[in-house]
Structure 1
Amino acid sequence: MLIHVPQLLTLDKINECRKILEVAPWVDGKTTAGHQSAELKNNLQLPPDCEESLFLGQTISQALKSNPTAFSASLPKTILPPMFNCYQNSGHFGNHIDNAIRHHSLTNTYMRTDVSCTVFLTNPDEYEGGELIIEDTYGTHSVKLPAGDAILYPSTSLHQVTPVTRGARISSFFWIQSFIQSDAQRRMMFELDQSIQSLTQQLGNNHDDVVKLTGLYHNLLRQWSDM
């Protein structure tokens, strides 16, 4: 399930992020990659434990938790602190699938990666190339979104970032362990939640059908959730 989340970050937050990132301590992205990824990766990245990365990561994590669409689509149990990368001068990241298990440095625990998220911090007209290409059971999708928008997709997906031939593509990326591991079940829960929200606007919170569907949603969540 690919979900486009428009304006996850407000314009003020985007400008704040970009101002901080202009003077941040960027390093070669290979220093934070695994053995296989390092061979495919050609970009710059912020050290995950630097002050700028931690501060901006909190901003983005809070934005995701506060956004109804993003929260409903991911049902986040654990959010890995967001990281930041920059692609320029033909920088790219070849086809790969994200690691299934990642270390959460702030809690010194490990988490399963169910949902991957990219938040774009530069607009499409600021660079050429740099499309996020995602392959899933429904085909191949090319993603290049306005600054502040986010894309959520299953971490099981094969994906890549094409070479940036002009300008710079700056984004945040991170992973979520969902309360529901199955992408198919998350999709059904998301569609059910969207229907409930639509019916609530039409009929009100106390309508019998809204109450019944809300009960169904929470009973399915009890049955499928990974606690």
Structure 2
Amino acid sequence: MILPIAGVLDAGTLARVRTRLAEARFEDGRRTAGWHAREVKANQQAAEADPATREAAAIISTELLTNPVFRTAVLPRRLRPILFARYPGEGAYGTHTDDALMGFTDPTGPTRADVSVTIFLSDPESYEGGELVIDGIGGEAAYKLDAGCALAYPATTLHRVAPVTRGERLVAVTWAQSLVRDVASREMLFDLDTARRAVFADRGNDETFRLLAKTYANLLRRWAET
């Protein structure tokens, strides 16, 4: 499931993040790429140790984990630290697949990357190119969302960032390990949760809602890995 999520960062929060990142030090983004992705990565990344970077990352983590659409769709069990990538003119990231496991040196062990997340921080009119392009069964799909919006998509996909031909693309990226590993099961749960909420809003806690709620809970109980 590829899911755009509107309004993860409101205007005020987005301004705070941009202000903090204006003070951050950026370095060669290839430092954090897997060995097979370094040759196709051409961007800059905010230094993780900088106080400005850490503050901006904490803001986005909080907003993402409290966003109801993100929580329902992704069912996050663990979230990787937020990274900030900057793509100045001609910046790009060639076709690649994200690493399956990340953070081998973490005290709690590595995180399985089930869902990739990009939060757009630049206004789309401020740069040309820079689309996030994801391969699918029907071909490629390109995404360039409004600032403050997020795109959650399976980490199993081949994807790339098209070259930036004007301006600068600034994004935050992270990866989530989901309580439900299988992407098709997550999509069914998301659809079912959307349906039960719609029924509740229209008809309240009636028999149909209770059956939907029961089925959702029992499927989550069957599929969740804690």
TM-score with structure 1 length normalisation? 0.96
Asked if 1:90 is matched to 2:90, the reply is: yes
Q: Which residue of 2 aligns with 1:56?
A: 56
Aligned counterpart, 1:65 = 65
The aligned counterpart of 1:75 is: 75
Q: Which residue of 2 aligns with 1:109?
A: 109
What is the match of residue 194 of structure 1? 194
Paired letter, 1:29: G
Amino acid at match of 2:25: P
The 5 A counterparts of 1:15-34 are: 15-34=15-34
Q: What does the per-residue CA deviation read over 1:23-71, in whole Å, with 9 as the maximum and x for residues that have no partner?
A: 2110010122222211010000012333223222221121122111111
Give the 3-state SS of the residue equivalent to 1:109 in structure 2. Answer: coil
In structure 2, C-alpha distance between the alignment counterparts of 1:85 and 1:22, rounded to whole Å: 13
SS at match of 2:18: helix
Counterpart in the other structure of 1:131: 131
> Counterpart amino acid of 1:166?
R
Cα distance in 2, alignment partners of residues 105 and 174 from structure 1: 17
**Kindly, what percent of the aligned residue pairs are identical?**
36
SS at match of 2:168: strand
Alignment check: 8 A CA contact 1:75 1:180 kept: yes
Verify the 8 A CA contact 1:114 1:177 in the aligned structure 2: yes
Q: How many aligned residue pairs are there?
A: 226
Please say if residues 21 and 56 of structure 2, whose CA atoms lie closer than 8 Å, have aligned partners that are also in contact. no
TM-score under structure 2 length normalisation: 0.96
Task: Tell me the CA shift for residue 101 of structure 1.
Answer: 0.1
Distance in 2, matches of 1:49 and 1:200, equals 46
Matched with 2:211 is 212
Specify the code of the residue in structure 1 equivalent to 2:221. Answer: R
Once the 2 structures are TM-superposed, how far is the Cα of residue 125 of structure 1 from its aligned partner? 0.4
Q: How does 1:165-184 map to 2 (within 5 A)?
A: 165-184=165-184
Which consecutive residues of structure 1, in runs of 5 or more, have no partner in the other structure?
none
SS at match of 1:35: coil
Instruction: Tell me which stretches of 4 or more aligned residues in structure 1 moved more than 3 Å.
Output: 104-108
Question: 2:34–2:99: 8 Å Cα contact kept in structure 1?
Answer: no
Q: Secondary structure at the match of 2:12?
A: helix
Tell me how far apart the structure 1 counterparts of residues 208 and 102 of structure 2 sit (CA, whole Å): 41
Contact 1:53 1:82 (8 Å CA) reproduced: no
Q: 1:129 to 1:183 in 2, by over 3 A?
A: same
* Unaligned ranges ≥5, structure 2: none
C-alpha contact (below 8 Å) 2:135/2:141 kept by paired residues? yes
Shift of 1:145: 0.5
The residue that corresponds to 2:141 in the other structure is 141
Deviation at 1:136, TM superposition (A): 2.3
Give the 3 Å change call, closer, same or farther, for CA 119–213 of structure 1 in structure 2: same
